[in-house]
Amino acid sequence: MIKNKLYIITKVKKVITFYSYNFIFPQILFFIIKFAFLN
């Protein structure tokens, strides 16, 4: 029961990390490009 719950939490954390990287990284990249063109 506890082991299974831990497995689910780990799986959810991995998914959240994956999606956060996919959404945050392009935004940072876009911001850097925008900032580079402004200067």
The residue type at 15:
V
**Measured distance CA(2)–CA(35) in Å, rounded:** 48
Q: How many domains does the chain have?
A: 1
**Within 13 Å of residue 9, how many CA atoms lie on the same side as its CB?**
6
Whole-prediction pTM value?
0.50
Structural domain including 27 reads 1-39
The pLDDT of residue 31: 92
Helical segments of the chain, H only: 2-38
Collapse the DSSP code of 39 into the 3-class scheme (helix H, G, I; strand E, B; otherwise coil) and give the result.
coil
d(CA 30, CA 39): 15
**pLDDT digits over 7-31, tens only?**
999 999 999 999 888 888 889 989 9
At residue 2, does pLDDT exceed 80? no
